[in-house]
A and B are shown apart, each in its own frame.
Chain A
Amino acid sequence: MVFSVGGRMTGVAPTQGTLMTSFNDTRHLWALGACLAAVGLVGMAVRREMVPDDFGTKGPYRASALDDIAAQPSLFQADATCHACHESVEHERAGTSHEAVGCTHCHGLAVDHVSIARRGAEDPTVTLPPAAEWDGDFLTKTDLYISKDRATCLSCHQAVVGMPADFKKIDVAVHLEEQGASEPLSKETCFECHGGHDTAP
Chain B
Amino acid sequence: MSLFELPILPTLGAAAAGGCASGGCSSGGCGTGGCGSAQAERTSENSRREFLKTATTLTLGAMSLTLLPGVTAGDDMLPLPPPGGDGHAPAAKPMYGFLIDTTKCIGAGKCLTACRVENSVPEGQSRTWVERYVHYKDGRVEVDLVPETGYAGSGEVQPAAEDVLRAYFVPKLCNQCVDAPCNQVCPVHASIKSPEGIELVDTERCIGCGYCVQACPYGIRFMNHDTGVADKCNWCYHRVMRNEQPACVEACPTGARVFGRIDDPDSEISRRLATVPTNVLKQHLGTLPLTRYVGLTDEVT
Residues of chain A whose beta carbon lies under 8 Å from any beta carbon of chain B: 52, 55, 58-62, 65-66, 68-76, 78-79, 98, 100-102, 104-105, 109, 111, 137-139, 141, 151, 154-156, 158-164, 167, 169
B127 to chain A, nearest CB (A): 13
Chain B: residues with CB nearer than 8 A to chain A? 85-86, 103-108, 110, 113-114, 117-119, 132-134, 148-153, 158-159, 161, 164, 167-169, 189-195, 200, 202, 204-205, 234, 236-239, 241-242, 244-245, 247, 250-255
Q: How far is the CA of A73 from the CA of B191 in the complex (A)?
A: 21
State whether A109 touches B110 (Cβ < 8 A).
no
Please indicate the chain B residues that have their CB under 8 angstroms from the CB of A55 in the complex: 189
Contacts of B251 in A (CB 8 A): 76, 102, 104-105
Given known pairs A55-B189, A69-B238, A76-B118, the reply for A161 and B200 (CB within 8 Å) is: no
Q: Are A162 and B192 in contact (CB under 8 A)?
A: no
Asked if B202 and A61 sit within 8 Å, CB to CB, the answer is: yes
Cβ of B132 and Cβ of A162 under 8 Å apart? yes
A65-B204, A69-B237 given as contacts; is B149 within 8 A of A158 (CB)?
Answer: no
The residues of A that contact B119 with a CB separation of less than 8 Å are 72
- Contact indicator A76/B114 (Cβ below 8 Å): yes
**Which of the residues A52, A60, A139 comes within 8 Å of B148, measured between beta carbons?**
A139
**One of A65, A100, A111 near B200 (C-beta < 8 A):** A65
User: Are the CB atoms of B189 and A60 closer together than 8 Å?
Assistant: yes
Looking at A70, A138, A160, A169, the one whose CB has the most chain B CB atoms below 10 A away is: A160
Residues of B within 8 A of A68 (CB): 202, 204
Partner of B254, one of A59, A139, A167: A167
Partner of B194, one of A66, A78, A167: A66
| Contact present for B195 and A58 (CB under 8 Å) | yes
Q: Which of A69, A76, A154 has the most CB of B within 10 A?
A: A76
Give Cα A13–Cα B159 distance, bound, in whole angstroms: 82
Question: Considering only CB atoms, which chain A residue lies closest to B134 in the complex?
Answer: A161
Do B250 and A102 touch across chains, with their CB atoms under 8 A apart? yes
CB-CB under 8 A for A154 and B238, given A101-B253, A162-B107: no
- CB-nearest residue of chain B to A63: B192
Q: How far is the CA of A154 from the CA of B149 in the complex (A)?
A: 11
User: A111: nearest residue on chain B (CB-CB)?
Assistant: B117
In the bound complex, what is the Cα–Cα distance between A112 and B252 (angstroms)?
22
Shortest CB distance B196–A (Å): 9
Q: A156 and B150 in contact (CB under 8 A), knowing A76-B114, A141-B117, A161-B167?
A: yes
Residue of B108, B193, B204, B242 touching A74 (CB-CB under 8 A): B242
Known: A66-B200, A70-B237. A138 touches B153 (CB 8 A): yes
A100: chain B residues within 8 A (beta carbon): 252-255
Chain B contacts for A58, CB-based, 8 A? 195
List 26 A-B pairs, Cβ < 8 Å. A52-B205, A61-B189, A61-B205, A62-B202, A69-B237, A69-B238, A72-B119, A74-B242, A76-B250, A76-B251, A78-B244, A101-B253, A102-B110, A102-B250, A102-B253, A104-B251, A105-B251, A109-B113, A138-B113, A154-B152, A155-B110, A156-B152, A158-B150, A160-B106, A161-B159, A162-B168
Other than the given A70-B238, A161-B159, 14 more pairs (CB < 8 A) read A59-B86, A61-B191, A62-B202, A65-B202, A65-B204, A73-B238, A100-B252, A154-B152, A155-B149, A156-B152, A160-B152, A161-B158, A162-B133, A162-B168
* B107 neighbours in A (Cβ, 8 Å): 160, 162-163
**Chain A residue contacts of B168, Cβ below 8 A:** 162, 164
Set of chain B residues within 8 Å of A74, measured between Cβ atoms: 118, 236, 238-239, 242, 244, 247
Residues of B within 8 A of A154 (CB): 152
Chain A CB within 10 Å, residue with most, of B133, B152, B205? B152
Q: How far is the CA of A100 from the CA of B252 in the complex (A)?
A: 8
Q: Are B149 and A61 in contact (CB under 8 A)?
A: no
Q: In the complex, what distance in Å separates the CA atom of A65 from the CA atom of B234?
A: 13
State the Cβ distance, A108 to closest chain B Cβ, in Å: 11
A169 to B149, CA, bound (A): 17
Residue of A nearest to B237 (CB): A69
B152 contacts A158, C-beta separation under 8 Å: yes
In the docked arrangement, what's the CA distance between A162 and B107, Å?
Answer: 8
Q: How far is the CB of B136 from chain A (nearest CB, A)?
A: 10
Min CB distance B250 to A, Å, is: 5
Q: State whether A59 touches B250 (Cβ < 8 A).
A: no
A89 to B247, CA, bound (A): 21
Q: Is the CB of B204 within 8 A of A155?
A: no
Closest to B115 in A: A76
A residues near B151, Cβ cutoff 8 Å:
158, 160
